[in-house]
Amino acid sequence: MAKERVREVFESRYGKDYRMFAAPGRINLIGEHTDYNEGFVMPAAIDRRIYLAISAESGNRASIHSIDYNEDINFDIEGETQNLPQWALYPYGVVKELQKQGFMPGGFRAVFAGDIPGGAGLSSSAALECAFASALNAIFGFGADNFKLAITGQMAEHNYAGVKCGIMDQFASFFGNKDKVIKLDCRTLEYEYFPLELDGHQLLLADTRVKHSLASSAYNKRRRQCEEGAEIIGRDHPGVKSLRDVTPELLRSYRNKLKQEVYTRCEYVIEENSRVISTCEALASGSVDKTGELMYQSHKGLKEKYEVSCQELDLLVSIAAEAGLTGARMMGGGFGGCTINLLRSEEAESFREKASAEFSSVFGHPPIFYDVSTGDGAGEI
Ligand code: GLA
């Protein structure tokens, strides 16, 4: 158990004077690549987390031990540090982003571990950012609210990990609520909880176990293309600040004025936003079948128009469709990671078998399945 391991390791190194924090990973029911376009998303926090034991120390030194990477790093809180391993860029980035806002952490010692599978599109890196943001805010008494802390995590990702992500992952990590999905308006950060009542259905993740290396550069490129589309339309329509403000009709009138690829990316985003709204209506009226249909449409858009899927994800979704599952789609940034499947509970076993056999025969290994349980957001435990 990650939580107990973290306690044990911290206590054996530094003693019993510490505080414990946790921050969850997330799933996303629908609304992919809409967050950085000021659109809508529907994530939920899961019951897999990063656990962090931490104590403040005199002086300016941050000492962090990762149990999972079996690695120690140190840096001077005030200085600029180079050559950190990838995982350490997240806590380092959080420290730097807090400082930019005038919050000055002192020295600290921390030990962490987690049970969120890495590279599976479940936002283990956002959870790490949020665990540190929550912990540093509490032990140094900054009094920042969870909105500010979520944005701090997002900025650490932009400026230190180099991914120009939206706010979905960090928001879900802070605002998650057991048995609920969050409908988040990424423009205003207004949010609403929807009960995840699936009427005899469940969610099941299938992890392809691939992570293509072009993921972060392709992600940033998609973001630029969307911004380019919004910018060109905005020149003639000053009310248009992002794709959120572009209706399908308005976009169509730009078919010949945008590069083909930019046009198609924008079209996907606008359609996906309206799928999120339709999913909310479907959930409110208890229509699980409609929710599933929208998930398949989302996958088709991500594959054909946004082009962020890959063969492994496509195969899993087509196996799901063939098996008659209610819904399935790739989840998260794309180019690997998991599909999210909506299925009747009694279908779970036979789908696992079918998907394992068919996926193995093409890619030489089965996917890994995770049952989804939702959980609460980041904070002290
Ligand atoms: C990654 C990013 C999120 C979001 C998704 C795609 O998880 O971190 O901000 O853009 O991809 O929906």
* Mean pLDDT of the region 45-72: 97
Catalytic status, residue 169:
yes
Catalytic residue among 35, 68, 169, 314: 169
- pLDDT of res. 212: 76
- Within 10 A of 79 (CB to CB), how many other CB atoms are there? 8
Joined tokens for residue 31:
């609304």
Task: Out of 3.30.70.890, 3.30.420.40, 3.30.70.920, 3.40.50.720, select the CATH number for domain 201-371.
Answer: 3.30.70.890
| Residue 379, helix vs strand vs coil | strand
Every domain of the chain with CATH number 3.30.230.10 lies at: 2-195
At residue 35 the predicted structure's pLDDT band, cuts being 50, 70 and 90, is: very high
* Mean pLDDT of the region 23-41: 98
Each residue's pLDDT tens digit, 174-189: 999 999 999 999 999 9
107 CA to centre of ligand 1 in angstroms: 32
Q: Which helix (H) or strand (E) holds 93?
A: helix 89-100
**Average pLDDT value for the chain:** 96
Every domain of the chain with CATH number 3.30.70.890 lies at: 201-371
Residues within 6 Å of ligand 1 by CB? 32-33, 35-36, 123, 165-166, 168-169, 332-333
Residue with CA at minimum distance from ligand 1 atom 11:
333
As a whole number of angstroms, the distance between CA 130 and CA 379 comes to 9
Closest listed residue to residue 27, CA positions, set 7, 41, 12, 6:
41
- pLDDT of res. 197: 85
Q: Check if the beta carbon of residue 340 is closer than 8 Å to that of residue 26.
A: no
Residue-by-residue DSSP string for 177-225: -TTEEEEEETTT--EEEEE---TTEEEEEEEEEEE-TTHHHHHHHHHHH
At residue 15 the predicted structure's pLDDT band, cuts being 50, 70 and 90, is: very high
32 CA to centre of ligand 1 in angstroms: 7
* Mean pLDDT of the region 44-72: 97
* pLDDT for 214 beyond 90: no
33 CA to centre of ligand 1 in angstroms: 6
As a whole number of angstroms, the distance between CA 270 and CA 79 comes to 43
- Within 10 A of 315 (CB to CB), how many other CB atoms are there? 18
Task: Give the domain 2-195 fold.
Answer: Ribosomal Protein S5; domain 2 (3.30.230)
Three state DSSP letters for 6-27: HHHHHHHHHCCCCEEEEEEEEE
Give all strands (DSSP E) within the chain, no chain letters.
Answer: 19-28, 40-41, 43-57, 61-66, 71-76, 107-114, 180-185, 191-195, 201-211, 327-330, 336-344, 368-371, 379-380
**Ligand 1 atom, smallest distance to 219 CA:** 11
As a whole number of angstroms, the distance between CA 212 and CA 367 comes to 16
The number of residues making up the chain comes to: 381
Percent of the chain surpassing pLDDT 90: 96
Q: Which are the contacts of 200, defined by CB distance < 8 A and separation ≥ 6?
A: 344, 345
Phi-psi region of 332 (alpha: psi -120 to 50; beta: other; left: phi over 0): left
**Ligand 1 atom, smallest distance to 35 CA:** 10
* pLDDT for 218 beyond 90: yes
**Ligand 1 atom, smallest distance to 32 CA:** 12
Q: Which helix (H) or strand (E) holds 5?
A: helix 2-14
